[in-house]
Structure 1
Amino acid sequence: MLRIWAALAGTAMLVGEPTATVADRRVFPESITSTPDGALIVGGTATGALYRAGPRETVLTRWTAPAPGAPSGIFGVLADPARDTLWACRTGIPPGQTPTAIVRYRLSTGEALRSAPFPGGGFCNDLTLDRQGVVYATDIGRGRVIRMVPGQAPVEWIADPLLAGADGIVVHRGRVLVNSVRSGKLIAIPIAGDRPGTPAELALSRSLQRPDGMRLAGRDTLLVVEGVGRLASIDLSSKPPLRVTTLADGLVEPVGVTHARGAAQVVQGHISYVLNPELRGKDPGAHGIFAIPFKEPKR
């Protein structure tokens, strides 16, 4: 059972089955994104395809085939409706040993438009963008952030030991926020024109354990999944240490989150079936998407 914490009442609700599932098996999604009308999109790390459910649909079906000549797996995905774009991280399997790239799709059709390889290789894990459409992507293998200005090739923006295990990423009020799946830290990097400022760890009211995908819900609320089975929110407007609230516990292998349909939508990755030799090749069952009740706080 999934345990949902009711922050106001101080009690927990029990939620049973997922509210949506991915139609194909052995997809192993690593990220989820959504559009303002409530459509949900995930990528397959094992298939290289995108899967989509319309605003009122509960099954994500195969939407695209792998782009010809591109590395096979899709990791981070991010919808950009203002530019009719879906951004995705592509990398081969096993990660880090084959080319990796940022791929642009047409959001309205799923058509693959452009593939931009990472400079010097690496492992594109997740991505975000600012209001000007500049893309920032994490390289989890090399502890760096890659930056891509529209119409230009990606370049290394920053590499730092503090970014070892760089995973989830968002842009918030003139800075790039990155979490580390290895250290559990949340790191802020000021944006100084086209250059980075000095990265610094943000103090939190409790530590994060194996943080993965994260997305903003509103202006100052950060939703982040933790590999130990939790969904948390971080109040970025609170005084340090930033207030961390556990929204859900008991999730099974959560890897990504998006805010859609009036809830936090958390996707299940079943990554143990990829990493554990005893489970590899076995059927993990349907990949579930769990709707965690969550309303954007009023400011």
Structure 2
Amino acid sequence: MVFKVYIFLLFLCFSFLKSLKAEQLLYLEDNFFPEGITISENGDIYVGSLKENKIVKFSNGKKDFEEFIPSESNNLLSVIGILADDRNKVLWACSSNPGVTNYPSENPVTSLKVFDLITGNPLGSYELPNGGFCNDIAKDSKDNIYITDSFNPRILRLNKSKGRLETWFENDSFKGEGFNLNGITFMDNHIYTVKMNSGELFKIKVKENGVPSNFSKITLPRPLNAPDGIKTIDKNNLLVVENKGSLSIIKLSDPTEITVIRDNLDTPTTVAIKKDTAWVLEAQFGHLFGEEKNVPPGKFKIVGVKLKTSLLTRLKSLLNISN
């Protein structure tokens, strides 16, 4: 047993040093305050700015970004959630007004914007009925687009034939103080969404005709810590950003499990997956809304976190060493 522990400690040191070397970083411009991120099938990374009302693009494999959609294009407000829709060759963007932009509008209209995925040209804008806060975006297997409204207890869906957003599902469980519904994703004929202020995870079945059914709250081992962005890894696992500093995997087993795979992040907001790497934004919102409001933020980073089982985990299994 002593020999096993010795080998384990050696590999622990090796694994730690290897993980430090392996972590990838991309950097954004000063004052950017990123909120939304998405990755296209060809590996291009798109990032939206809460402060600058624009979207930038890192072409596949590049470390330098280019301006993709300029500030205020198509009356763009602060950019919240964004989604690359490769099949339809468009980029969806939530345009909302949290009141911190460098480009204030006299009559801000909360809406869902759509741009050409290649050129960035504006293609349309869909106002949220009765206002609200367009937060995050998901697409189902039939190309239907869903958004969360953080200020109203509803999920909206785009009626493309009528050119408007409509309430798809509304429930009192989505009510609360401050920011409510946040991240949203689609997996295996179900919509999953998180509620930021309560740390809850919800599941709604999408029937063949598109009607919502079988709404439920998923039992978790603990409340999520201010959940923000959420993405599907596979049919059994979700990736969730916990705004207080962590990136976690939710295993949809019985019982449900939550595993933190990266912590000590500076106000992480959203995440996108590229192959075996999760790219998570550090928004540093404490320098925008919090106690450090008058303190300049550090460099804005996108942190690449490996999703594969770590060498440390595999070694512990091999040596039959429990947590």
Length-normalised TM-score, structure 1: 0.87
Please tell me whether Structure 1 or Structure 2 has the larger radius of gyration of its CA atoms. 2
Letter in 2 for 1:94: G
Please identify, of 122-131 and 141-150, the stretch whose mean Cα deviation from structure 2 is larger: 141-150
TM-aligned CA deviation for residue 68 of structure 1: 4.4
Do residues 72 (structure 1) and 77 (structure 2) align?
yes
TM-aligned CA deviation for residue 47 of structure 1: 1.3
Question: Could you tell me which residue of structure 2 aligns to residue 218 of structure 1?
Answer: 234
Quick one: structure 1 residues 93 and 184, their matched pair in 2 at CA, closer, same or farther if it must change by over 3 Å? closer
Length-normalised TM-score, structure 2: 0.81
**Which of 18, 25, 29 is matched with 1:19 structurally?**
25
Report Cα offsets for 1:259-278 as digits up to 9, x if no partner.
Answer: 11531111111112221265
Question: Could you tell me which residue of structure 1 aligns to residue 267 of structure 2?
Answer: 253
Question: Could you tell me which residue of structure 2 aligns to residue 163 of structure 1?
Answer: 174
Which structure has more RCO (C-alpha within 8 Å, separation ≥ 6)?
Answer: 1
Quick one: structure 1 residues 201 and 18, their matched pair in 2 at CA, closer, same or farther if it must change by over 3 Å? same
Q: Distance in 2 between matches of 1:10 and 1:111?
A: 50
Do residues 189 (structure 1) and 204 (structure 2) align?
yes
Letter in 2 for 1:221: N
Report Cα offsets for 1:237-259 as digits up to 9, x if no partner.
Answer: x22x2222111111111101111
Letter in 1 for 2:302: I
Q: Percent identity?
A: 26
Question: Could you tell me which residue of structure 1 aligns to residue 318 of structure 2?
Answer: none
Question: Could you tell me which residue of structure 2 aligns to residue 174 of structure 1?
Answer: 189
Question: Could you tell me which residue of structure 2 aligns to residue 230 of structure 1?
Answer: 246
Q: How many residues align?
A: 284
Quick one: structure 1 residues 295 and 18, their matched pair in 2 at CA, closer, same or farther if it must change by over 3 Å? closer
Letter in 1 for 2:308: K
- In proportion to residue count, which structure has more helix? 2
Quick one: structure 1 residues 31 and 69, their matched pair in 2 at CA, closer, same or farther if it must change by over 3 Å? closer
**Which of 91, 96, 100 is matched with 2:110 structurally?**
100
Question: Could you tell me which residue of structure 2 aligns to residue 276 of structure 1?
Answer: 290
Letter in 1 for 2:68: W
Question: Could you tell me which residue of structure 2 aligns to residue 45 of structure 1?
Answer: 50
Q: Report the RMSD for the aligned CA atoms in angstroms.
A: 2.4
TM-aligned CA deviation for residue 202 of structure 1: 0.4
Local SS of the residue matching 1:217? strand
Letter in 2 for 1:208: L
Unaligned segments of structure 2, at least 5 residues = 1-10, 101-106, 310-323
TM-aligned CA deviation for residue 210 of structure 1: 0.5
Q: Distance in 2 between matches of 1:10 and 1:122?
A: 48
TM-aligned CA deviation for residue 217 of structure 1: 2.0
Moved over 3 A (4+): 9-18, 66-69
**Which of 56, 59, 68 is matched with 1:54 structurally?**
59
Q: Distance in 2 between matches of 1:224 and 1:135?
A: 20
